[in-house]
Structure 1
Amino acid sequence: MKIGNIDNMKLYKKIMKNGLLSIILLVAAVSYGQSLEQKNSENFTVQKGTNIAHWLSQSGRRGEERERFFTKEDIKTIAAMGFDHIRLPIDEEQMWNNQVERHEDAFQLMDNCIKWCEEYNLKVIVDLHILRSHHFNAKEKPLWTDAREQEKFFDLWRDLSKALSKYPNSLVAYELMNEAVADDHESWNKLLKNAFAAIRELEPERTIVIGSNRWQSVETFDELKVPENDKNILLSFHFYTPFLLSHYNASWTNLKDYKGPVNYPGILLTEKEFNALPENVKPSVKQYVNVKFDKEVLLELWQKPIQKAKSLGLPLYCGEFGIIEKAPKKEALAWYEDMMALFEETGIGHANWNFKSGSFGLVADDGTPNQELIDIITNKK
Structure 2
Amino acid sequence: MANNKPTFNRREFVKKTSILGAGLGIAAHTAFAAPAVKPQNKLPKWKGFNLLDFFSPDPANTRKPTTEDQLRWMADWGFDFIRIPMAYPFYLNIDRSRNITPDEVYKIDEKQVDKIDKLVQTAHKHNLHVSLNLHRAPGYCVNAGFHEPYNLWKDQQAQEAFNFHWNMWAKRYKNVSSKKISFDLVNEPSMREDMNDQHSKRSTVPGEVYRKVAKAAAESIRKENAGHLVIADGNDVGSKVIPEITDLNIAQSCRGYHPGIISHYKAPWANKDPENLPEPKWPGQVGDKYLSRAMLEEFYKPWIGLVNQGVGVHCGECGCWNKTPHAVFLAWFADVLDILSSHGIGFALWEFRGDFGILDSGRSDIAYEDWHGYKLDRKLLTLLMKA
TM-score range, shorter chain: 0.7 to 0.9
Change (3 A) 1:326 1:59: farther
1:104 is displaced (CA, Å) by: 2.2
1:34-49 equivalences under 5 Å are 34-37=38-41, 40=42, 45-49=44-48
Q: Which has the larger radius of gyration?
A: 2
Q: What amino acid is the match of 1:267?
A: Q
TM-score (norm 2): 0.75
Match of 2:301 in 1: 303
CA 1:319–1:241 in structure 2 vs 1: closer, same or farther (change >3 Å)? same
Q: How does 1:1-381 map to 2 (within 5 A)?
A: 34-37=38-41, 40=42, 45-53=44-52, 55-58=53-56, 60-62=58-60, 68-97=64-93, 98-138=104-144, 142-182=151-191, 183-218=205-240, 221=241, 223-226=242-245, 228=247, 230=249, 233-252=250-269, 253-258=271-276, 260-269=278-287, 289=288, 291-311=289-309, 313-357=310-354, 359-364=355-360, 367-379=374-386
Q: Structure 2 vs 1, CA of residues 229 and 175 (structure 1 numbering), >3 Å: closer, same or farther?
A: closer
RCO (CA 8 Å, sep 6+): is it higher in 1 or 2? 1
Say if 1:48 and 1:84, in contact at 8 Å, map to a contact too.
yes
SS at match of 2:245: coil
Q: Distance in 2 between matches of 1:83 and 1:317?
A: 14
Cα shift at 1:179: 1.0
Seq. identity, %: 24
- Post-superposition Cα deviations, 1:38-85, rounded to whole Å, max 9, x if no partner, equal xx4xxx6342111112x111364539x75x431211111211222111
Aligned length: 315
RMSD over equivalenced CA pairs, Å: 2.5
Q: Distance between the aligned counterparts of 2:86 and 2:79, measured in 1?
A: 20
Superposed displacement of residue 259, structure 1: 5.8
1:83–1:293 Cα change, 3 Å: same
Q: 1: CA distance between counterparts of 2:323 and 2:57?
A: 21
User: What is the letter of the counterpart of residue 263 of structure 1?
Assistant: K
CA distance in 1, matches of 2:311, 2:277: 41
Unaligned runs of 5+ residues in structure 2 are 1-35, 94-103, 192-204, 362-372
d(CA) in 2 for partners of 1:134 and 1:91?
Answer: 10
Q: Distance in 1 between matches of 2:379 and 2:273?
A: 25
Q: 1:61–1:153: structure 2 CA closer, same or farther, 3 Å change rule?
A: closer
Q: How far 1:178 sits from its partner (Å)? A: 0.8
Deviations 1:183-218 (A, max 9, x none): 533222211111112222222111111133221213
TM-score w.r.t. structure 1 length?
Answer: 0.76
Conserved? CA contact 2:254–2:316, under 8 Å: yes
> Which 4+ residue blocks in structure 1 deviate beyond 6 angstroms?
none
- 1:341-364 deviations in whole A, cap 9, x for unaligned? 22221111111111111x211112
Instruction: Tell me the SS of whatever aligns to 2:141.
Output: coil
The 2-side partners of 1:152 and 1:132 are apart by: 6
Measure, in 1, the Cα distance between the counterparts of 2:277 and 2:155.
Answer: 42
Contact 2:185 2:232 (C-alpha < 8 Å) held by counterparts: yes
